[in-house]
Amino acid sequence: MIKALVFDAYGTLYDVHSVKEACESIFPEKGEAISMTWRKKQLEYCFQRQMMGRYRPFDEVTKDALHYACKSEGANSTKESEDALMDAYLKLGLFDEVEAVLRKLSNKKRVVFSNGSKNMIEPLVSGSKINNHINMVVSADEIKQYKPSAAAYAHALNRLRVEREEVLFMSSNTWDIMGAASFGFHTAWINRNGVQPETLDIQPERAYTDLNGILEWV
């Protein structure tokens, strides 16, 4: 029986590219490109630091990635503009169906598990419409190990106080889904953009276009 529903945050519950409007307002005609590069480098820097054993909190990685994105797009950023865009990351928009789906899952433990450092993920959740539908927020920063490392999922499991087979983990990020599946969680891939499935020997149990699909589990 599934007892805990565990959601990745960025790209799964929250649209990371909802910052493109803020990017566009500061850097006209470059907003979308900055947003795309920002997210790409944010992930790359996390993976690189994890492999090199040179961990830094997610807010620092995100700021480094933003700095790179601005430079790569020829945008002359300042401390003020970077601070404004970092603040926008605390106010990301929810995907359309998220609030309604979470409301229907009130009989289960609902958890956000993110690589985001507490000073990013906690304000994001508490300031959004789903705050009352989330029972716990877990950050990989608590053990300084980014997902998809096995140690990160083990930490979440310890916080949940359930068995791993009692967890359904959901993410739009294939690397996150592969990590959770490898660890032994039940997994549902939220393939929002209709991308090609990975060809690894580890696969999610289910794939859906949005969170509505997970209602069949409960």
- The Cα 147–Cα 113 span in angstroms is 10
Percentage of the chain modeled with pLDDT above 70:
100
Q: Residue 185: its pLDDT value, please?
A: 98
Q: What's the pLDDT tens digit per position in 52-79? A: 999 999 999 999 999 999 999 999 999 9
- pLDDT mean across residues, the chain: 97
Assign 16 a pLDDT band (cuts: 50, 70, 90).
very high
Mean pLDDT of 149-166: 97
Q: State the fold for domain 16-91.
A: DNA polymerase; domain 1 (1.10.150)
Assign 50 a pLDDT band (cuts: 50, 70, 90).
very high
Q: State the fold for domain 4-15+93-217.
A: Rossmann fold (3.40.50)
pTM for the model? 0.95
Single out the residue of 144, 88, 83 nearest to residue 117, CA to CA.
144
Spell out the domain ranges in the chain: 4-15+93-217, 16-91
Mean pLDDT of 127-148: 98
User: Is the predicted pLDDT of residue 119 greater than 90, yes or no?
Assistant: yes
**Same topology for domains 4-15+93-217 and 16-91, yes or no?**
no
Q: Give the residue numbers annotated as catalytic, written as ranges.
A: 8
Q: How far apart are the first and last CA of the chain?
A: 9
Q: Residue 149: its pLDDT value, please?
A: 97
